[in-house]
Amino acid sequence: MFPPRTDIRRILVIKWSALGDIAIASAVMEDIARAFPHAQIHLNTLPGAVKLFRYDPRFAEVFAIDVRKRGERWRHTRAWLKRVRAGHYDLVIDLQRSDRTRFLLTLLWLTGGAPPIRLGNRGGFPYTHQPALTDPRAHALAMMRSVIESVGIPATTSRPVFYPAPEQLDRVAALRRAHALADGRYVVFLPGSQAAGHLKRWGVARYRALAQMLHAQGMAKIVLIGGPEEVDDCRAIAAGLDFVVDLNGVDLLEVAPLCEGAWAIVGNDTGLTHFAAAAGKPLLVLCGPTDPARVKPIGDTVTAIQAQLECINCYAKKCVNATYQACMQAIEPAWVAATLPALVAGQLRPGQRLVGRIEVF
């Protein structure tokens, strides 16, 4: 068994992107912090993610040096090497799936500043221990867990773990009071995705129809959460429906607290669903062009569904199917409305094949 070890006093964790992967990695970070309660742990991430860890008690320091920035890569690479070398780390845990961090750690080793114990997703040189799982098609959680398990660190945290700022929690409480969002009396929709992945969106009309059905069944409120690229979709879903609360634009770390009082959550394959999973509430993820086995958010209360058509998992940017977005059209609002009680009751199981060739993941 690797921990406890008194000689591991300073640890560097590397996790740059993307947002969904950072949410997944936060569970592994929790396992690392539990395994080394007396060590000083630093996190190296990208500038856009620093705010996610500003109040995180697991990290003594969070720093960002964007070594991928065009035009400044070598300058930033030198800065990264200098910063990490000065850290005098005993252990580095690289949670990226990238050859760039392997390259950086190799440079660090060549210049005599590499930590003596080096763990990484991909295995091989310059890492000192090899994870059992190196298949790039594997789910990110399984791969990252394999990294820490390679040295005996228990991987037991099942959902994302974040630490919002006190003012963020106060803002969520105020929003819930202002919109009368009582526990168990609202459903959260996450209807967007980045613009480049628009085929992953279930669509305004279907979310709007689902909202009306759930309200007719007795659900008091529907809450919409999205980012800058989903503003128009959220407005269109809410238009003319006084029971729909459009909270588009809330901070990422406010997503889970807002979801904690929800009866259920419904969302597309998007980064926000990974943050919503931290709430531990029943979450239904609607998949079509992406593989649920690879993109499903982590958590015991998360369920993904997908209609089993020949064109699924295409990961395309443009649909060439004769029926546009056939994979998403096959998931009908009435079916989702009728299925949510089973989701909340924990009756959906991976491998189930449901009506309309819909499979549960």
In the predicted model, what is the mean pLDDT of residues 85-98? Answer: 95
Element (H, E) at 186: strand 186-190
Is the previous residue joined to 18 through a cis bond, with omega within 30 degrees of 0? yes
Give pLDDT, residue 4: 58
* Burial grade of 349 (CB within 10 A; 0-12, 13-18, 19 or more): exposed
Q: State the residue for tokens 């890569």.
A: 73
Q: Are 90 and 41 in contact (CB under 8 A)?
A: no
Cα–Cα dist 287/137, whole Å: 17
Q: What is the pLDDT of residues 168-180, one digit of tens each?
A: 999 999 999 999 9
CA distances from 154 to 29, 151, 213, 296, 317 (A): 11, 9, 44, 22, 39
* pLDDT on residue 7: 84
pTM (predicted TM-score): 0.95
Instruction: With beta carbons less than 8 A apart as the criterion, state whether 102 and 129 touch.
Output: no
What is the pLDDT at residue 82?
96
Tokens of 213: 């059905």
17: tokens are: 């992107």
User: For residue range 228-280, what is the model confidence (pLDDT) as tens digits?
Assistant: 999 999 999 999 999 999 999 999 999 999 999 999 999 999 999 999 999 99
**Helix, strand, or coil here: 244?**
strand
Residue 124 is classified by DSSP as S
For the cut 50, the answer to whether the pLDDT of residue 1 exceeds it is no
d(CA 85, CA 113): 5
CA dist 208 and 229 (Å) reads 18
pLDDT digits (tens, 9 = 90+) for 114-173: 999 999 988 899 999 999 998 888 999 999 999 999 999 999 999 999 999 999 999 999
> What was the pLDDT predicted at 98?
87
Q: Mind listing the domains of the chain with CATH numbers?
A: 10-149 (3.40.50.2000), 166-360 (3.40.50.2000)
